[in-house]
A and B are shown apart, each in its own frame.
Chain A
Amino acid sequence: MLIQSLCLIFGFLALGDLVSFVFGLPIPGNVIGMMLLTVSLCRGWVDVKSVKPAADLLVQNMAFFFVPPGVGLLLYLDLLAREWFPLVVAYVVSTVVVLVVVGWVMQKMERS
């Protein structure tokens, strides 16, 4: 079961990479793979039970996979020291703006 689901997940990943490459898209292949998998599930081309074992394993432990690249921040500490001010202001401003705008738009549209 796990092997079958891994086969499907990696199949969609490879397909997504192929589509991204062939059409020269600026969208990462894994995002295209996710979209293709979702469409295939909706259309009933793929049964959700056949992908779930690997999908659950990957999604539930996703945080672990970005630890090694995160450690790579070590190489950019001088950049961080130089540009911390615009970085911090931009991320705080943007987080608040997105929260307010999305919450407000969704609430307005739900009422109308």
Chain B
Amino acid sequence: MAFFTSKAFSVFITFLAFYGAQRLYLRFKYFWLNPVLLAILGLMAFLRLTGLRYEDYFQGGQIISFFLGPAVVALGVPLYLQMEEIRKRGRAIGVSIGVAAVVGVLSAAGTAALLGASGPVVASLAPKSVTTPIAMGIAEKIGGIPPLTAAIVIATGILGAVIGPGVLRLCGVRQPVAFGLAMGAASHGIGTARAVEEGEAQGAAGGLAICLNGIATAVVTPLLMKLVMLWVRHP
């Protein structure tokens, strides 16, 4: 029926799914009840059960996802508000983020390539530590699958939030800015939300790492992927 494939219906069910997921998350506050993940799984189940095609759903859905572009641009505002901090610790932050971007891409894409993953999967993994809209943009540019990247990025965020504090303590990382920067660089917004619970300095450093690692990863990934693709068996 034309009603169920209309743009308005697609937009409506997306709002409804996210609203419901947010309510559920606020009620229970478990990390794995991530509202984005819940909304995605709920909509996937809905499309499967009703037999609606993703292509039809996305006619309306792309009206929503279009706003990812301006949302990434808007990240320039929190980045600007953190400039004082960047100037103060310029060299340390610059080196840490540069290392984060290179190590993040090489460890994710390299491991997958060595384990025999196909080219598109390797490319989808490469930007996994940066915030979802940037990661999807990078994946698209290097031959990855943006929806797969979105799923991996969210999974990375949840994993980092859950194990991050323990791993960092185990490795003797106690300094607040180093703690927050590591959480933000490894697991973007979801990791930063966890870092905020440790303190204000940790949270601010995490927010900073999201923006800077997004930029650094966007710059280094196309180059590093040329290297990693040499190891891919089925490009």
Contact = CB atoms under 8 A, between A and B. Distances in A.
Interface string A12-51: 1100100000000011111101111110011000001001
Contact of B108 (A13, A36, A54, A94): A94
Interface of B: 10, 14, 17-18, 35-36, 39-40, 43-44, 47-48, 54, 57-58, 60-62, 64-81, 83, 89, 91-93, 95-97, 99-100, 103-104, 107-109, 111-112, 115-118, 120-121, 125, 128-129, 131-134, 136-138, 140-142, 145-148, 150-152, 154-156, 159-160, 163-164, 167-168, 171-175, 177-179, 181-183, 185-187, 189, 209, 211, 214-215, 218-219, 221-222
21 contacts: A13-B70, A30-B72, A48-B77, A63-B132, A66-B132, A66-B150, A67-B17, A67-B18, A67-B40, A68-B62, A70-B147, A74-B54, A76-B148, A90-B111, A94-B156, A95-B156, A101-B103, A102-B100, A102-B185, A103-B181, A107-B175
Interface in A50-106: 51-52, 54-56, 58-59, 61-76, 79-80, 83, 85-87, 89-106
Interface of A: 6, 9-10, 12-13, 16, 26-31, 33-38, 41-42, 48, 51-52, 54-56, 58-59, 61-76, 79-80, 83, 85-87, 89-107, 109-111
Interface of A is mostly: helix
